[in-house]
């Protein structure tokens, strides 16, 4: 019995860690680094495949004028998610720097290299879905 419980705990942990890594956002403009901290995950902008070293992108769409000069690289996009045990992370919020809006979000791990990001207002039925792909090393 103890062996079975150990296996189940190890399997759940492996599923939770599957999301950790660097992902290309659905619009193809950002590398997002997802890390795990205790029971939740965080995502921050790690760069862009379209980086131009002579141009620094800032959070110019932010509704808070005092934050519009902050660099996008290193910006935390999401937090507060919890793993629901069904290849999904729920109860989190995600910030869209292209629109300057924050949405509720569900992240579903489709496979080792694919995430489905469902941002919404109110209920998941009213929202937008993006597919993110894992960065190949």
Question: What pLDDT, in 10s, does the model give residues 14-70?
Answer: 589 999 999 999 999 999 999 998 889 999 999 998 876 656 689 999 999 999 999
pLDDT-derived band of residue 7, with 50, 70 and 90 as boundaries? very low
* CB-side neighbour CA atoms (13 Å) of 128: 9
Q: Please write the tens of the pLDDT for every residue from 74-122.
A: 999 998 899 998 899 999 999 999 999 999 999 999 999 999 999 999 8
Residue 137 has pLDDT above 80, yes or no: no
- SS3 track for 78-113: EECCEECCCCEEEEEEEEECCCCEEEEEEEEEEECC
Q: Which domains does the chain have, with CATH numbers?
A: 2-134 (2.40.128.520)
> Alpha-carbon distance 88 to 110, whole Å?
9
């Amino acid at each position: 019995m103890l062996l079975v419980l150990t296996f189940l705990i190890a399997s759940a942990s492996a599923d939770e860690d599957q999301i950790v890594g660097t992902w290309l956002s659905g619009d193809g403009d950002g590398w997002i680094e997802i890390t795990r901290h205790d029971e939740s995950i965080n995502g921050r902008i790690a760069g862009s495949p379209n980086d131009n070293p002579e141009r620094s992108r800032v959070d110019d769409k932010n509704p808070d004028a005092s934050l519009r000069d902050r660099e996008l690289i290193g910006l935390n996009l999401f937090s507060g998610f919890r793993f629901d045990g069904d290849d999904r992370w729920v109860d989190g919020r995600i910030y869209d720097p292209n629109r300057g809006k924050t949405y509720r979000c569900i992240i579903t791990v489709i496979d080792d290299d694919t995430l489905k990001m469902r941002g919404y207002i109110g209920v998941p039925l009213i929202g937008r879905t993006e597919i993110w792909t894992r960065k190949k090393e």
